[in-house]
A = this chain, B = another copy of it.
Amino acid sequence: MTDQSQIRIKAFADKIMSAEAAAEFIPAGSNVGMSGFTGSGYPKAVPGAMVARARDARAAGESYAVSVWTGASTAPELDGAMAEVDGVHLRMPYQSDPISRSKINAGLMEYTDIHLSHVAQMVWEGFFGHMDVAVVEVAGITEEGELIPSTSVGNNKTWIDQADKVILEVNSAQPLGLEGMHDIYYGTALPPNRKPLLISKVADRVGVPYLHVAPEKVIAVVETNNPDRNTPFKEPDADSEKIAGHVLEFLTHEVDRGRLPATLLPIQSGVGNIANAVLMGLDKGPFRPLTSYTEVIQDGMLQMLHSGTVSMASATAFSLSEAGLADLIENIDFFRERIILRPQEISNHPEVIRRLGCLAMNGMLEADMYGNVNSTHLMGSSMMNGIGGSGDFARNAYISMFLSPSTAKGGKISCIVPMASHVDHTEHDTHVIVTEQGLADLRGLPPRRRAQQIIDHCAHPDYRPALQDYLDRATATAKGKHTPHILGEALSWHERFLKDGTMQPV
């Protein structure tokens, strides 16, 4: 039973139905816009009913599949379950699900990997085809029929605007205290009618706390009472702490040189344990009060808001552990004054990121000697997750940092390679690379000097001599010595891993 306060508008009462009944409104072949971003605010019930439809179809020798467009990653009961029954024809713009990943890499599921700031406008521009149905989780519906957004905003505003039909999931497990935390900007337009986006400080609000929906588009309201997928919080390991230490030392140095103010600039940090370690390091550090203009609020950010290290944080979604979620719910009034959740086209907007001068810290799979960064593809061909918002921030940041341990798979993979097997961030967009070994400051350096910095400061000692040897031989033999490569050998480390299971010579 949903508490009356979750659905306050009487007009929607006769649209309440089961997830199964709602799923009947979604024909095979539809383009379906779903809510959900880093495991927050995704629909909890309708996807399961679609999975059942797909199973029934299969049992009848037929098929049931749709295209699924979201904010970003969702949860096993959406991405995992739908992929397992081959219920997803095309997925975009981001996923991080193991079953989806295996289907994508088996060539059985189409996946379009897009900058998260580009998705809403490109759908609106009609570049991906028409959206048939939106399935959006909300925390509640007001007396006036306004939608109280859930724990992520993502592309929900655009999905609700663009879809012919809207299915709402009202999740009574989400705190109603979220009401007022969001800032949904309704000023976007297609050119030639676009206007400046008047966010000049992290705390600036330019929208309204609600999602608007035309009541006649709402074809179903489904009541749920399910928590978001939790993201377990791990205490930082030794490598993460070392990476965080190098970042803090660098920021201190920049402040000392007068190249950064003592309150730094708005922090953006990617998702994961390295990012959490950096946040924890900043929390102990001398810089405050900080602000954050980022994509996702993790546990570390809640802690920094509690301690007063961060005064204001803007994002598009939460990604919390069970304890973090409990903290959010318990202290929702405190956090509502210090957190703004925006649509992802705004949280990741190039205009705002450049204006604010974000300090961007994102993870990576590998970087090459020259500073080209691979965020998406293992050994050049296999999709890991996707580019997400890393490019939105890196390209427009004041300082663009990429962080990773120097090795993976117990040392069998070097994350610093002669040539990246896929490039998501070019040499032009990479300012700083950090591993547990150290930090390479690449700003203003030509390629061979970048390579020497990366080899000396970032590569693991087990791989450093081979990298130096490659650089030396390439410099001696390449026809062009601006960015020297030995083309027949440039990708040989990746080939060796595919063949022998290690990049180390065996």
Residue positions of A touching B, CB distance < 8 A: 90, 92, 104-107, 110-115, 118, 122, 125-129, 190-192, 194-198, 200-201, 257-259, 261, 265, 350-351, 354-357, 372, 377-383, 387, 391, 395-396, 398, 419, 421-429, 431, 443-446, 448-449, 474-475, 478-485, 487-488, 490-492, 494-495, 498
Contact = CB atoms under 8 A, between A and B. Distances in A.
B355 A421 contact: no
Nearest to A118: B428
Contacts of A428: 113-115, 118, 387, 391, 424
A449 B109 CA distance: 12
Given A261-B192, A351-B354, A398-B125, A482 B381 contact: yes
14 contacts: A107-B448, A115-B428, A125-B398, A128-B444, A192-B357, A194-B200, A194-B356, A350-B354, A377-B482, A381-B474, A381-B480, A382-B482, A383-B482, A422-B483
Contacts of A427: 113
Contacts of A265: 191-192
Given A381-B484, A428-B114, A191 B479 contact: no
A427 to B, nearest CB: 8
Dominant secondary structure at the A interface = loop
A196 B421 CA distance: 38
B426 A424 contact: yes
Contacts of A492: 488
A387 to B, nearest CB: 6
A449 B356 contact: no
A446 B487 contact: no
A372 B196 contact: no
Nearest to A480: B382
Across the A-B interface, the 6 shortest Cβ-Cβ residue pairs:
A382-B480, A191-B357, A107-B481, A381-B480, A423-B423, A196-B196
Nearest to A359: B191
A128 to B, nearest CB: 4
Contacts of A194: 200, 354-357
Contacts of A258: 126
Contacts of A479: 105, 379, 381-382, 498
A194 B196 CA distance: 13
Which of A350, A482, A485 has the largest number of chain B CB atoms within 10 A?
A482
Given A387-B428, A482-B105, A483-B381, A190 B127 contact: no
Nearest to A127: B443
A126 B498 CA distance: 43
Contact of A191 (B106, B113, B195, B356): B356
B90 A446 contact: yes
A446 B114 CA distance: 10
Contacts of A92: 444
A107 B350 CA distance: 35
Given A127-B259, A191-B265, A257-B126, A110 B446 contact: yes
B495 A488 contact: yes
Contacts of A391: 426, 428
Contacts of A382: 479-480, 482
Given A191-B398, A192-B356, A488-B491, 14 more contacts: A104-B482, A105-B480, A110-B449, A194-B200, A194-B354, A350-B350, A350-B354, A377-B482, A380-B419, A381-B480, A383-B482, A387-B428, A421-B485, A488-B492
B379 A480 contact: yes
A31 B424 CA distance: 32
